[in-house]
Amino acid sequence: MRIEKKAFAKINLTLDITSVLPDRYHGIFTAMQTVDLCDGVTVETTQAPGISLTCDNGTIPCDERNTAYKAAAFFTEAAGITEGVRIRIEKRIPSQAGLAGGSADAAAVLRGLQEIYPGKLSEQALFDIAFRIGADVPFCLAGGTRLCLNKGEVMAALPCLEAWVVIVKPEENVSTKEAYARFDSAAELFHPNNNEFLFYAAAGEYRKALAYACNTFEALCEVPSGEVIKSALYAGGAYYAAMSGSGSAFFGLFEDEAHAQVAAEALRASFPQVFVCRTTG
């Protein structure tokens, strides 16, 4: 059986590092939003046992280091599946960008296998596997607009945000591990007003909510072109712009497609990876 899935990217409308947890992981407060920039993921069962993975991007590992590979391995083990699984990924989401491309691919594999083997695993079991793979995978499995807390596994649905989005991936790449290490050594950081953000976001008043939003990682990550990108997004009509995740991609939110397209076209003169997309549920 063969299933084709779309693996949707995410952006962080706000992102705060709130604490260091007892297990030494970092606690976060973030609102994540699915956008329709996506990878294509094909999941297929085979008679030959084992997992095989191919990708049209030669820089992506295709072994057990890949999150989509891990998703298939964990699912088949938990469900007692003896058939083999073949995965094909067509990449469009930039890597090392804070857009959860790898997590989205893993979530797509889990959903694909759930469709191939209905009833083998409960929804809770699927989310347990997702969290084993990575902090963003549970959100990618759920999608939409969600408040995510703790290590990302505690989620609550928020009213849907409807907006056009311009995403810009500069040449710089950012290591999430190194970004968190900088947080641990930082003397002082600016934090968003999480209470005010949540008050307005819970009512769907995102223009008000975003006045209290920011991404704490922007002060921790060395992305020299970030301010240039944000300035260009605002100049092009964005009503909010920020870095996504631990970077290095930046995004701007727009009221309409026309302004988004004009802003994107201006940015393409300096940055080859510019995407125009929409938020999605």
Q: Give the contacts of 279 (CB within 8 A, at least 6 positions apart).
A: 33, 34, 35, 36, 145, 160, 161, 162, 163, 165
Given 10, 70, 169, 230, which residue is catalytic? 10
Q: Under 8 Å CB-to-CB from 277, ≥6 apart: which residues?
A: 9, 35, 36, 37, 164, 165, 167
| List 5, 16, 136, 169, catalytic entry | 136
The tokens for 233 are 């997004």
Spell out the residues 6+ positions from residue 60 whose beta carbon is closer than 8 angstroms to its own: 66, 89, 91, 95
Q: What is the CA radius of gyration of the chain?
A: 19
Phi, psi of 35 (to 5 degrees): -125, 160
Task: Tell me if the bond preceding 175 is cis, omega within 30° of 0.
Answer: no
Is 136 annotated as catalytic? yes
10 is catalytic: yes
Strand partners, 7: 39
Q: Which residues are catalytic?
A: 10, 136
